[in-house]
Amino acid sequence: MPAPAFGSDEKPRPLLRTMLGDVLRRERREQRRTLEDVARAAKISMPYLSEVERGRKEASSEVLAAVCDALRVELSDVLAEVGRGLAADRVHRERVLRLDVALGRRAAQPARRSGDAYCLAA
């Protein structure tokens, strides 16, 4: 499992194989098709397809192409959806950036008091 990006308290980055499996499984289920049906059409074993969908196996480009053909979806569309998922994950991982730091200024640190409120802008 990859190390967290910024600190030990953060969850690890998602794996490409996990994201691909999620997209393939979602597409198969939306089509109301069984693992057996798609595996047969892709000419791969049903247990292997299951492992790919669960992100346990790293599928080759040939296997991904065969599964996409069996699902009648474009590989590029699957990869684009995975890319959007990875981008969304990155947005959720970004830390709050102080405005003075972003602008390259050094702000004086006011004394903090009980009950102070902070406004964060995105």
The mean predicted confidence, pLDDT, of the chain is: 82
Q: What is the pTM of this model?
A: 0.67
Report how many domains make up the chain.
Answer: 1
Range of the domain at 52: 16-89
Which residue in 24, 33, 37, 1 sits closest to 75, CA to CA? 24
The answer to whether residue 64 sits within a structural domain is yes
- With respect to residue 116, please indicate whether it lies within any of the assigned structural domains: no
Over range 42-61, report the average pLDDT.
Answer: 96
Query: How confident is the model over 70-122, as pLDDT tens digits?
Result: 999 999 999 999 999 888 877 766 665 666 666 776 655 555 666 656 555 55
Residue 36 lies in a domain: yes
Q: For residue 81, is it within any domain?
A: yes
CATH of the domain at 73: 1.10.260.40
